[in-house]
Amino acid sequence: MTDIQPTLSPARLLLAVAVMAVWGTNFVVIKIALEHLPPLLLAALRFTFALLPLAFFLPRPNVPWRNLAAYGVLIGVGQFGILFIAMRADITPGLASLLVQTQIFFTIGLSMRMTGERVQGYQIAALLIATSGIAIIALFSNGAVTPLGLALILFAALSWAGGNLVARAAGPVNMLAYVVWSALFAAPPLFALSFALEGWPAIRDGIARADVATWAAVLWQSIGNTMFGYAAWGWLLARHPASIVTPIALLVPVFGMGASAFFLHEPLPLWKLAAAGLVLAGLALNLFWPALRRPRLAA
């Protein structure tokens, strides 16, 4: 049985930050791949290479097939398929990395609806703070995000939240194996939707135009994000309390916006920094308030 350590050693903290760097900068990598590949095709390839060849080496998690199917559809089609569509032309990578983190609020809301738990005051405050940041983005985006892009990103966040609840229902499993086997239910519908909505000519032309950088970006979706990211994150969560590890995920939009500004020259005007600060403040309040409140209640 794995011993739960209450604190992160410097080496494990560095590992957690490395995962956040991979997940954050991946939004720039996605944009590179989208220069040539249609979004739904890119998502289909991402999950195909996540499934193969790892499915031959990792045993299927001991969960019902319907659970794997639900997770595969929600994360594959609902989260990444919609995210890639939005990032094609309707939202910048930096803002996408920020706004998709609203999945935290959707996860809490869906969980409360299922369990009947009451909303706490700090959760309402956190949501209002984050929503004010989203409102600033909607008002001052000036093309950085379209109304359609904002709606698509929020839908992707909602799908991610649904996937979180499905994964929670699966119980303690090897998360890497769980993600790999769920890809069996993500790739086929994504290929079908790509053929139906994007069409064979767009698929053929996209593959023909794809260069080394495009295919490297596709493989990074599977190798960096899945094989390294999920394996390392699951390893950390198995050895430390979630309250210690989970808040580090707030670094994802920091890396995402920073990488987009550095590599893609995405502007960072004052309104965008203010909006990011409000969204991150809302997320942080929601994550940290229970831990801060516990010592006061004990006293």
Given pLDDT bands bounded at 50, 70 and 90, which one contains residue 104? Answer: confident
11: which 2 tokens?
């080496």
SS3 readout for the chain: CCCCCCCCCHHHHHHHHHHHHHHHHHHHHHHHHHCCCCHHHHHHHHHHHHHCCHHHCCCCCCCCHHHHHHHHHHHHHHHHHHHHHHHHHCECHHHHHHHHHHHHHHHHHHHHHHHCCCCCHHHHHHHHHHHHHHHHHHHHCCCCECHHHHHHHHHHHHHHHHHHHHHHHHCCCCHHHHHHHHHHHCHHHHHHHHHHHHHHHHHHHHHHHCCHHHHHHHHHHHHHHHHHHHHHHHHHHHHCCHHHHHHHHHHHHHHHHHHHHHHCCCCCCHHHHHHHHHHHHHHHHHHHHHHHHHHHHHC
Distance separating alpha carbons of residues 230 and 266, to the nearest angstrom: 28
Average pLDDT, integer, range 82-102: 95
More confident: 199 or 110: 199
Average pLDDT, integer, range 239-258: 85
pLDDT of residue 2: 55
Q: What percentage of the chain carries pLDDT values higher than 90?
A: 65
pLDDT of residue 53: 87
Phi-psi region for residue 172, left (φ > 0), alpha (ψ -120 to 50) or beta? beta
pLDDT of residue 1: 47
Average pLDDT, integer, range 201-205: 97
Q: What is the mean pLDDT of the chain?
A: 90
Average pLDDT, integer, range 4-14: 83
How does pLDDT run across 131-185, given as a tens digit for each residue? Answer: 999 999 988 887 789 999 999 999 999 999 999 899 988 888 888 999 999 999 9
pLDDT of residue 298: 54
